[in-house]
Structure 1
């Protein structure tokens, strides 16, 4: 009997210890992620090789359980975010992930465009329809469309941009039926749904089907470039993508033999933008052996990513150089003038 009692107590203790791991709180936790070399991820056809490396940096982000919340509370390099700072009010976890992957795709497109134009090479687009980011609860698209669906026909008519799609719908009235043709996981489907009015404040009175959407477009460039970002989400690797792509296009090696990490969004005009978790990315870069870290300068703002990166580098006592960047051209100029590593 005593043995059975001990076993029951042991099982109860295990349950008490393990259960909090599966109880998720209304918070997200971010922590230092990884710094990953870009040359194995990006391949420009017949592109040039490099002596050093460009590296993207990441943070690890996940829902908080009781243990991870308590650890983050006492960690100087982990951050706690209320769930509404990460996801919008009616956005599901799936929709959040789809949005992050789309932001990554957009950053890749901008990076390719910036790098190829800098190299003096032509850039063209092929529009493929619209990409569903979000489905509004209570609207006609609910349970018929899903995040990541690609819509390419309405009532049998092809269209190429989100503007064309919205212009067509705006000519319709409440109750009219649409037939949408869309692709989901490489299979083509059709669905019929009736237009309805939005009830939210921003769109109240407007007619629609209830989806958030963006253009689904493919960049056409020569030589061909492949970016295998897999499950990395968000736009913050765009700037480093652009440097790696440009470096493979040009004969001169911009790395000069150094391990160069960095972060920042990239716009189609080459501006480098602010990102979150800069201090965590500095830590990830330092652990990976980076010698130079390129940080968004935000035109010298007092609270810029660059200034936070400088402070973090000082706190962790790294020898890594922190370099401010405002735009792609400025970063290239800095690297072109960098003395080769001995």
Structure 2
């Protein structure tokens, strides 16, 4: 064997080893894959997911499925081999990590943000459904999340409606922040809140912000909510977060509060954020959600208008599932009612 041959063999072996090592090195990307679907009209742990107290609820039929996406976690590494495998899989997508997560974002920060979005989206979805039914809803200031280990933990709770702080009525989240600052680090901030139909007073001692010793924090996230005329809740798993199920939540609440089956007894899936006035907004991972819905047997998938172009590229056959454009809560209700009456109805489809 000549020296050149030996050198070539060694070079080839080293090259193979180099590629093998590179294949398992982490790369700054995340993958999105079809996640589980959840029928919001069904039961969870023996109880209806949509809970109503103080108003008649109606039996319904069919399925209204929220769709999810499984995303590489902020603390999970993704190898080059895994990224390439996802790249060539039509049901998955690959994105730069900084498109999905902020730099140095922790698992706890992602979980908290997702929880806040879920609480906010559920309340907004309920509001959109009730407004569709003709209810007038006053706006309130609400606790969306309480940070673990914060001064407010064990005292304030998510969905507490803040009436006042230290005797001063509050009208928005900014007023709460200002009144906590006025109480100061180590002072007393007495919150009067409405919780489960009763008024409760709790006192919290603000602590200093980690990056500013003069800034007082109690460790809550607050925002705008609604004063509902009766109790409605959507009890979904804590594992599901974010605002993208807003439209499906709204439709499930509407279906529960009206006679008959909005779905016509067939499986319906969809996605989309929603505003208090019923406008449907875009979401991420639309193609993976459509694949998940088709796999679950859904006949119609409700698509936010801004996601229609991407939805058409999901690679799912029209005979498997119909992509129906949902501009608003009202238009979605009309489309489902038309489909329930006639499966050949002319619906506003993505095109």
TM-score by structure 1 length? 0.71
**1:89 aligned counterpart, secondary structure:** coil
Task: Name 1:325's counterpart in structure 2.
Answer: 326
C-alpha spacing 1:59/1:182, structure 2 compared with 1 (3 Å): farther
Cα distance, 1:169–1:37 mapped onto 2, change above 3 Å = closer
Match of 1:52 in 2: 62
Q: CA RMSD in A?
A: 4.0
Aligned to 2:296: 288
- Displacement of 1:268: 0.9
Identify the match of residue 273 of structure 1 among 281, 284, 294.
Answer: 281
Cα deviation 1:67-100 (Å, max 9, x = unaligned): 6434323322222233322222353220111101
**1:234 CA drift (Å):** 0.7
* Structure 1 residues 31 and 115, CA gap change in structure 2 (3 angstroms): same
Shift of 1:259: 1.0
Q: Partners in 1 of 2:155 and 2:283 — Cα distance?
A: 28
Q: How far apart, in 1, do the equivalents of 2:115 and 2:256 lie?
A: 24
Q: Alignment partner of 1:287: what SS?
A: helix
Contact 2:165 2:179 in 1 (8 A): no
Alignment deviations for residues 24-82 of structure 1 (CA, whole Å, 9 cap, x no partner) = 65432210112221112223344112232211111111234326434323322222233
CA contact under 8 A between 1:291 and 1:319: conserved in structure 2?
yes
Change beyond 3 A, Cα 1:179–1:86: farther
Q: How does 1:1-342 map onto structure 2 within 5 Å? A: 26-40=28-42, 41-45=49-53, 46-63=56-73, 64-66=77-79, 68-124=82-138, 127-129=141-143, 131=145, 150=156, 160=170, 161-168=172-179, 177-179=185-187, 190-191=204-205, 193-194=207-208, 208-209=215-216, 214-215=221-222, 219-230=226-237, 231-298=239-306, 305-314=307-316, 316=317, 318-338=319-339, 339-340=341-342
**SS of 1:33 mapped into structure 2:** strand
- Alignment partners' CA distance in 2, 1:340 and 1:293: 17
- Give 3-state SS (helix, strand or coil) of 2:314's partner: helix
Tell me: CA distance 1:171–1:38, structure 2 relative to 1, closer, same or farther (3 Å). closer
Instruction: Judge conservation of contact 1:153–1:180 (CA < 8 Å) in 2.
Output: no
User: Aligned in 2, Cα 1:324/1:195: closer, same or farther, shift over 3 Å?
Assistant: closer
Task: Write the distance in 2 (CA, Å) between the matches of 1:328 and 1:192.
Answer: 41
Between the aligned partners of 2:163 and 2:129, the Cα distance in structure 1 is: 33
Structure 1 window deviating more from structure 2 (34-43 vs 93-102): it is: 34-43
TM-score normalized by the length of structure 2: 0.69
Alignment check: 8 A CA contact 1:264 1:296 kept: yes
Q: Which runs of 5+ in 1 are unaligned?
A: 1-16, 136-142, 199-206, 299-304
**Contact 2:152/2:220 (<8 A) preserved:** no
Q: Relative to 1, partners in 2 of residues 1:102 and 1:128: Cα closer, same or farther, differing over 3 Å?
A: closer
3-state SS of 1:294 partner: strand
Q: Structure 2: any 5+ residue segments left out of the alignment?
A: 1-19, 43-48, 192-201, 345-351
Tell me if the contact between 1:111 and 1:268 (Cα under 8 Å) persists in the aligned partners.
yes
Report the Cα distance in structure 1 between the residues aligned to 2:315 and 2:93, rounded to whole angstroms: 18
Structure 1 residues 216 and 124: alpha-carbon distance in aligned structure 2, compared to 1, 3 A threshold: same
Give yes or no for contact 1:270–1:329 (8 Å, CA) kept in 2. yes
